[in-house]
Amino acid sequence: MTLMHDAPATPDTTPAPITMTMAQAINRALADALETDPAVLVFGEDVGVLGGVFRVTDGLAARFGDQRCFDTPLAEAGIVGTAVGMAMNGMRPVVEMQFDAFAYPAFEQIVDHVAKMGNRTRGAVRLPLVIRIPYAGGIGGVEHHSDSSEAYYVHTPGLTVVSPATPQDAYSLLRAAIAFPDPVVFLEPKKLYWATGQVDVTAPIPQLGRARIARAGTDATLIAYGPSVPVALAAAEAAEAEGRSLQVLDLRSLVPFDDETVCDAVRSTGRAVVIAEAPGFASVASEIAARVSERCFHHLLAPVRRVTGFDTPFAPPKLEKYYLPSVDRILDAVDDLQWDDVPVVES
């Protein structure tokens, strides 16, 4: 008689998620892209031997050599212009602008060439390049080191613009950006470089242009992106102690904009507050508020509110906390959503 035995279980070899800072997640994304695709290059000011001002590219030059990760002159227009030529000829350059406001000398290259090349050639010449920009405040930097410059890029047709708020999204969205066939402006919230979280490097690379619900809620929707997501989550937690349930939506992608997810979220609560560090006038927050008002008008129980930076140059370090959106400012906006004016619907 033959005895039947259960087959031995196949061991699970799937790597477990790793706890990383956002800076480490970006570094890992760059390393994995360099490892898997010989067309990928990383270059910019001090990204090689030094590893970048924030050490985001630390170790890449030593691992992959100075032909794949290298320093450039202090000339942002030259950095981006060189990347355009490389991308036109089959490479996938990933360039770093050292700080948000340092990218302005390259703006002509970005607007006139990076954004328009595909349209100018009717798609015959694509530019698969990524422009990494550490941006926004929260580190006590002076005005040339703390700009929220996203409105300039989202206003420019031809650019895809994303901003992660978690280490997982920093890894996944950067991998998606590097694989994308057209130019991507990748805005990195510098104050979140040291925020930690679980990162699954084996997760499927996401589609660019999809928002996510970061926290469930039923009373109002807080819409945020990049550096404003953690403060929105903190506001939602504080509101819960007061008996109010706030949903938090993380846009992740500014262009393409995920109207479907945003509008579904707002319609589910009937109220919305848009949160962003940039000045409020003619801003991304303005566009979000307009889109929500247009598409969700008959579902809104109160006007859409915005909590943004002020319409001034960025504040000096000692005053920065008064300039940036805070939990108190967000909760004040939520309190102003006409809670007492909502008519009772008779059943």
Active site (annotated) includes residue 113: no
Task: Give all strands of the β-sheet with 220-224 in edge-to-edge order.
Answer: 212-215, 246-250, 220-224, 272-279, 305-309
| 233 φ, ψ (degrees, to nearest 5) | -65, -40
Buried b (16+ CB within 10 A) or exposed e, 2-20: eeeeeeeeeeeeeeeeeeb
Give the list of residues 6+ apart from residue 210 with CB closer than 8 angstroms, or none.
252, 253, 258, 261
CA dihedral 55→56→61→63, nearest 10 degrees, is: 110
- Alpha-carbon distance of 215 to 270, in angstroms, equals 16
Catalytic residue from among 144, 145, 155, 299: 145
Q: Quick check: 104 and 131 in contact, CB under 8 A?
A: no
β-strands 220-224, 160-162 pairing: unpaired
- Alpha-carbon distance of 139 to 334, in angstroms, equals 27
In degrees, to the nearest 5, what angle opens at C-alpha 282 toward C-alphas 95 and 144? 45
Q: Is 239 helix (H, G, I), strand (E, B) or coil?
A: helix
- Alpha-carbon distance of 74 to 136, in angstroms, equals 21
- Alpha-carbon distance of 186 to 171, in angstroms, equals 11
Q: 10 Å Cβ neighbour count for 35? A: 11
Inter-CA distances, 65 with 44, 50, 69, 74, 145, Å: 15, 14, 6, 21, 29
Spacing of C-alpha 113 from chain mean position:
23
- Alpha-carbon distance of 224 to 233, in angstroms, equals 9
- Residues assigned a catalytic role: 145
